[in-house]
Structure 1
Amino acid sequence: MQLNRNTTTTTDRPIKVLQFGEGNFLRAFIDWVIHRLNQEGDFHGNVAVVQPLAEGMVPLLEQQQGLYHLVLQGIQNGSLVRNFELIDCLSRFNNPYQYFSGYLELGLEEELRFVFSNTTEAGITFVDTDRFEDDAQVSFPAKLCRLLYHRYQYYNGDLDKGLFIIPCELINHNGDQLKKCIKNYIALWELEADFENWIDKANTFCNTLVDRIVPGFPKSTISEIQEEIGYEDQLVVEGEVFHLWVIEGGDKVKAHFPTEKLGLNVIFTDNQQPFRQRKVHILNGAHTAMVPLGLLAGLETVKETVEHEVFSLFLDQMVSKEINPTLDLSENELIEFGAAVFERFKNPYIKHYLSSIALNALSKYETRILPCVKTFYEQKRCLPAKLVVPLSAYILMYAQAHPAVNDDEGKVKQLQSLWQQDNLTVAVNEILTNPNVFTAHSMEIPNLADLVVAQIQDLQEKGVINMLKEMVQIDPISVSSVK
């Protein structure tokens, strides 16, 4: 049976949420929270989905009229859990590259209160070539600024028509960074001071942290799942039971988004940094580190990787010896969190493909691992080899055009072009310093290029497994220089 609003029972609700992104994570976490608020609370609001890129899932969402099943699987209170939920809160869909006027109209919704987004770490970016008159702007912040200006004008600067803007991208101070981009567009486009004042006084930008492992579409078991649910659902998404959402926003946001009444693990706080440090650098850092190494070694899933004898030891040493010392948290807290993370990675229900984590991997490395590399070097004046080897593996993986590479086309082509140098040392130095590949100056760490060159040579000559075997047998605190 086809899944749509004619074949199942749903409820009509006003649009209260504008969501930038239609991918697995938002649908398995943020939209699930909104669904729960509708089902068990008094939120009574639906979501309008904006596709952030020219190509995306809006056609499929329209085909299923926003309906999809979420499969939550894992261990809860000591028992294995596997639940199906039909999520029905997505009700309007827009591709701004095809229907920009319709996109702007979404910003005029009378009861609109929230903006959520997940455009990956590369999404919250100021692109100075974006113009006010573009249909549509390239960057997410530019599109959002244009929509907010349209709302501001329509409601004549009414301070009661501002929004709670809650980005979920895994960058530090994501709300602050998004607001900064908005301010940059106000200046670039020479918009009036009253609009900037409305942005400041009527709107609330929240820094956030989100945590739920979401493997995404269950391609290996979709036939069995569709038979079980009784629908031909092409938008099924899998996630773990565990969830955590930390929002800096205080009582004002909490009053409009009453998740605590439902027992959801949503924390409103004045400082999300301690939660962010351990999650981004340990959980996401381990994910980002295992992807290129696992793929180059022929592994497919997170569970397969963390249960591999060599990878298990490598990742354990990487986290305990090279990540934990860089974090400003108690040792016991870090040990407990790390142990819990690796248990989550071994979830028997979750088939989390390494390839599904590979999206925009170079930006993820800069956000999740590079800060630890820099702090480690500042503390010990030597490089953490286990944190650097994923960088070396990513460069090799991109250079070889591995099928799992899923990144900005211009960035990939630039790296591959630089790789064509006859001299590996020259190629690596140019790749690390090219602002089209990595953020300008981000890789300016003493001896980093030399270590990357040596590691790439080892990866090519010895293979991933043999190289990691050697790495876990030596002192985890690595080398101060490479000759």
Structure 2
Amino acid sequence: MSSRIIQFGTSRFLQAHAAFFVHEARQSGQDVGPITVVQVSGASSRSGRVGAFGNAEGYPVIIRGMEGGQPVDRTVQVTSVDHGLSALEHWDELSKLFAEEAEFVISNTGDTGYQTWPEEDGFGAARQVPRSFPAKLAALLVKRWQISARPLVILPCELVTGNGRILKQAVIDCAKLNALPAEFFTWLDEHVAFAETLVDRIVSEPIEPIGAVAEPYALWAIKRAPGVRLPCNHPSIVLTDDLEPYERLKLHILNLGHTVLAEIWQRENRPADETVRAILADREIRARLDALYQNEVLPGFAANGLGDDAKAYVATTLDRFLNPFLDHRIADIAQHHGEKVARRIRTFLDWADKADEPLDAPVLKEITARYSPIEAAP
């Protein structure tokens, strides 16, 4: 039986994360994959990338950074992906693979990947391809239910808290829009496991047409739930009963730090091509970030019983920020900045304020005050 993985999203991140882990698992002798990468939208700028996934020689991922106090600089030729498809151009082939061969689904469709368009998300007509990712997934699940009705594990990697739960609801809404029978929803609930996951790895540079430069650190935390299985065994993949500590540490330390630096970069007219490492070479800005972590972030974690974990994660995060091999452009981090302020900073303040005493966080509160909740809503 095939153990094929269908990956929605052609992102550099997944090339150096999930597909990388699957490659290393296959190299160790595990029966997992191969992966089919699917371009979800019709963006012509990525069409060359889709075709490149069919190269039997794979693509390079360069791992650069510090690990255990020692420099790491190695190249891995990732061969876990056997081909790429466009959802719009190869819908019939994708439907067949999804219905008959897929064991796992992985997705990373961006900050607005779960958005739907009810007026364009119908899929009742023959070969009609709906617009949104949740509707495409719903249509493919209907095909699977009709043809094989085999169980399936879906592992969304979008940086959304409760990503599996939210994606499942979006799929249900799209299925209801298309008037599916009750039997489909019963099968979906009993045989399709939408996992909640958290991913973490800095992927800083693209390699054309596919490939990436990434840091050694990597994490894929997957919440244990009925029907949820790991796609493979790998040191960077964790199955856990509680995802929240991993989410809070990444979102409110690493991601929050990135967004604070992006705010400084924008407000203070820093160089357009400045990197995280370069901005932190400015002693005054490094001191501001250190003080922010010490005085505003760590107390919030301590109030929620995660003080020791947060202190260790701050140290790891600063090492990652200062990775001498990675050129992580702040201009890239600053994309969708208002949404990131809401998700990374405003939610931290809300969480910290639920503890015994209100958090004294003047810098973070000043940043959030510049973005109204409506403008910054994720």
Q: Which residue of 2 aligns with 1:372?
A: 348
Q: Does 1:386 align with 2:363?
A: yes
Q: For the residues of structure 1 that align with 2:183 and 2:226, how far apart are their CA atoms?
A: 27
Give 1:98 deviation, angstroms: 3.5
> Is the contact made by 2:22 and 2:232 (CA closer than 8 Å) also made in structure 1?
no
Equivalent position of 1:298 in the other structure: 271
Rounded to whole Å, the distance in 1 between the matches of 2:129 and 2:292 is 43
Which of 234, 237, 243 matches 1:266?
237
Shift of 1:381: 6.2
Distance 1:217 1:390 in 2: 30
| 8 Å Cα contact 1:58/1:94 also seen in 2 | no
Alignment partner of 1:198 is 2:187: yes
2:4–2:35: 8 Å Cα contact kept in structure 1?
yes
Cα drift, residue 143 of structure 1 = 1.3
Amino acid in structure 1 at the alignment position of 2:281: E
Secondary structure of 1:49's match? strand
Higher share of residues assigned strand: 2
Do structure 1's residue 184 and structure 2's residue 138 form an aligned pair?
A: no
Q: 1:477 maps to what in 2?
A: none
Correspondent of 1:91 among 67, 82, 88: 82
Partners of 2:2 and 2:101 within 8 A in 1: yes
1:332 is the counterpart of 2:301: no
State the 1:383 CA deviation: 7.7
Q: 1:101 matched to which residue of 2?
A: 92
Letter in 2 for 1:358: A
Secondary structure of the corresponding residue to residue 210 of structure 1: strand
TM-score by length of 2: 0.87
**Aligned-residue CA RMSD (Å):** 2.6
Q: CA deviation at 1:378?
A: 6.0
| CA–CA separation in structure 2 for the residues paired with 1:294 and 1:165 | 37
Given candidates 220, 236, 248, the residue that maps to 1:277 is 248
Change (3 A) 1:74 1:204: same
C-alpha change, 1:199 and 1:26, in structure 2 (3 Å) is same
Task: Render the CA deviation track for 1:248-291: whole Å, top value 9, x for unaligned.
Answer: 1369644x53415xxx1211111111111111111111112212
The superposition leaves residues 194-238 of structure 1 with CA deviations (integer Å, 9 ceiling, x where unpaired) of: 1111111111111111111110216xxxxxxxxxxxxxx532300
Q: 1:209 aligns with which of 191, 194, 198?
A: 198
Deviates most, 362-371 or 21-30: 362-371
Deviation (angstroms), 1:377: 5.6
Question: Which one scores higher on RCO, CA 8 angstroms, separation ≥ 6?
Answer: 2
Report if the CA contact (8 A) 2:349-2:359 is conserved: no
User: Are 1:234 and 2:222 matched, yes or no?
Assistant: no
Following TM superposition, by how much is the alpha carbon of 1:27 offset from its aligned partner in structure 2, in angstroms? 0.4
1:390 Cα deviation from its structure 2 partner: 4.7
CA distance in 2, matches of 1:382, 1:280: 18
Shift of 1:116: 0.6
Once the two structures are TM-superposed, the CA of residue 115 in structure 1 deviates from its matched residue by 0.6
User: Cα–Cα, structure 1 residues 102 and 385, in superposed 2: closer, same or farther, change >3 Å?
Assistant: farther
Matches within 5 A, 1:90-169: 90-108=81-99, 110-133=100-123, 135-155=128-148, 158=149, 161-169=150-158
Instruction: Please say if residues 352 and 358 of structure 2, whose CA atoms lie closer than 8 Å, have aligned partners that are also in contact.
Output: yes
Contact 1:250 1:269 in 2 (8 A): no
Paired residue for 1:407?
Answer: none
Give the match's secondary structure for 2:119: coil
In 2, Cα distance between equivalents of 1:137 and 1:358: 30
**Which stretches in structure 2 are left out of the alignment for 5+ residues?**
none
CA distance in 1, matches of 2:171, 2:226: 24
Pairwise mapping of residues 394-413 of structure 1 onto structure 2 (< 5 A)? Answer: none
Q: Distance in 1 between matches of 2:68 and 2:352?
A: 37
Instruction: Name whichever of 144-153 and 98-107 sits farther off.
Output: 98-107
**Structure 1 alignment gaps of length 5 or more:** 1-12, 219-232, 396-431, 443-483
Could you list the per-position Cα deviations for residues 278-331 of structure 1 after superposition, in whole angstroms to 9, with x for gaps in the alignment?
Answer: 111111111122124224322610111223212212222222322333332332
TM-score (norm 1): 0.70
Indicate the structure (1 or 2) with the bigger Cα radius of gyration.
1
Structure 2 partner of 1:315:
289
> What's the CA shift for 1:370?
1.6
CA contact (8 A) 2:121 2:131 kept: no
Deviation, structure 1 residue 122: 2.2
CA positional deviation for 1:382: 8.0
**C-alpha displacement of 1:350:** 1.0
1:406-425 alignment, distance < 5 Å: none
Checking the alignment, whether the CA contact within 8 Å between 1:282 and 1:323 is kept in structure 2 is: yes
Correspondence for 1:26 among 2, 9, 14? 14
- Equivalent position of 1:39 in the other structure: 27
**CA distance in 2 between partners of 1:270 and 1:376 (Å):** 22
2:298, 2:113 → 1: CA distance?
28
Q: Aligned residue for 1:244?
A: 219
